[in-house]
Structure 1
């Protein structure tokens, strides 16, 4: 009997082994292998590195934008100072011109009779003659009309001259300032750069058809307008011969 039991044991062991599930590699609690865990950890590390890089880039970009805004502010302030300085220089130049003119008059005759009088309907101011036309023309037509009168559209050099024109002009009128292209520079009729400005607002108007030309309103401030579409009165200027 003992021999029979011993001979049957191998069969029982084989049967029990057949009932067991097949063995797999090392798994975790949820059936994950150690290789799966390694990939997850690696993905997590890469994600953290990318997030850190995004944060660093955002901080750097913010600093660059702040610095750019600061530089723009400094440039704007410098431009204001330069413009103010040029305006003051233009005022001084006009004052000197007026003084020299007065001295010339005093040396020659002591009164205005020593200078060639301005034409009829023209007004005299500090050595220049001014004609205020009420004809509504384009900017080009207005300048041609001034040239026919041996003058040009008025060039305003300082506040003193501006005050004289403001006290005399009756309606919006063309002046001799124009802009070369929508984003170009402003020039007077003699190709000089303005040293005195009297814009209608702090910013120039760039929303008009180019080229743009300047008008002076009856209250003295300037605005730009389409040179050929607009029709306004105009102011001519010519030097007085002494």
Structure 2
């Protein structure tokens, strides 16, 4: 009896064990099915969300903003091109006017130029040698009244002409009245070509008899060399002015 009881108990335990295993397998299967369905559901939701995001979401707004920005930049470029075209047309107009003026100037420059009676022409200037002496300022005022100024010698050819033109000592348009030793022509240009007499300029050499020597004259020698002298000394002078166009 004891052995039979034992066998029955073993059979029951085996049956119970199998039943327990089957229950666990069904539970695992249910969990897997649930997880699979959950995954499918999540995938469907993600897909739906992506479609909505693509059709109506921020992406659409971003594309719209990009389009608006491109349109704005394109309009700005068009405006700039229009402005540049306008400026080009204005420049062309100015060039045309300048070309006409240049042609007119060239036409005038080819006309014969002449100096007034009593003046001698050399290069592009007319020269006048005074008939009466006076101070440097008197000589300059006379030249201005005649439409010119005291001569400005700015190249070697002009210096050679003056040396043949001046037959007496005469004032020229060079002085250092403003700043001692800083020589200026009457047209405010600085001295860069000189024809000084030996040991000149010397500002009187400190001799009170000569005083301050701030004005320049050409000597009556074959080179018309330059010397500084008191501006109050009475000398002849040389005037210079541009020639007039003949009618």
Taking structure 1 as the reference length, the TM-score comes to 0.51
Between Structure 1 and Structure 2, the one with more helix by share is 2
Q: Which residue of 2 aligns with 1:238?
A: 241
Q: List alignment gaps of at least 5 residues for structure 1.
A: 1-103
Q: Which residue of 1 aligns with 2:193?
A: 196
Q: Which residue of 2 aligns with 1:126?
A: 123
Q: Which residue of 2 aligns with 1:151?
A: 148
Structure 1 residues 178 and 149, CA, compared in 2 at 3 Å: closer, same or farther? same
Following TM superposition, by how much is the alpha carbon of 1:191 offset from its aligned partner in structure 2, in angstroms? 1.3
Q: Which residue of 2 aligns with 1:176?
A: 173
- 2:227 maps to which of 218, 223, 227: 223
Secondary structure at 1:135 match in 2:
coil
CA distance in 1, matches of 2:124, 2:179: 34
In the TM superposition, what are the counterparts of 1:1-242 in structure 2 within 5 Å? 108=107, 114-180=111-177, 183-207=180-204, 208-210=210-212, 212-219=214-221, 220-228=224-232, 230-242=233-245
CA RMSD of aligned residues (A): 2.4
> Contact 1:152–1:238 at 8 Å: present in 2 too?
yes
> Contact 1:181–1:211 at 8 Å: present in 2 too?
no
Following TM superposition, by how much is the alpha carbon of 1:109 offset from its aligned partner in structure 2, in angstroms? 7.9
Kindly provide the CA deviation profile for residues 112-149 of structure 1, in whole angstroms up to 9, marking residues without a partner as x: xx144111010011110000113110000000000000
Secondary structure at 1:137 match in 2:
coil
Q: Which has more radius of gyration? A: 2
Following TM superposition, by how much is the alpha carbon of 1:180 offset from its aligned partner in structure 2, in angstroms? 2.6
Aligned residues: 135
Q: List alignment gaps of at least 5 residues for structure 2.
A: 1-102, 205-209
Following TM superposition, by how much is the alpha carbon of 1:203 offset from its aligned partner in structure 2, in angstroms? 4.0
Secondary structure at 2:173 match in 1:
strand
Secondary structure at 1:119 match in 2:
coil
Secondary structure at 2:131 match in 1:
strand
CA distance in 2, matches of 1:203, 1:124: 30
> Contact 1:175–1:234 at 8 Å: present in 2 too?
yes
> Contact 2:175–2:185 at 8 Å: present in 1 too?
yes
CA distance in 2, matches of 1:125, 1:233: 20
CA distance in 1, matches of 2:152, 2:192: 11
CA distance in 1, matches of 2:200, 2:151: 22
CA distance in 2, matches of 1:223, 1:168: 17
Following TM superposition, by how much is the alpha carbon of 1:182 offset from its aligned partner in structure 2, in angstroms? 7.6
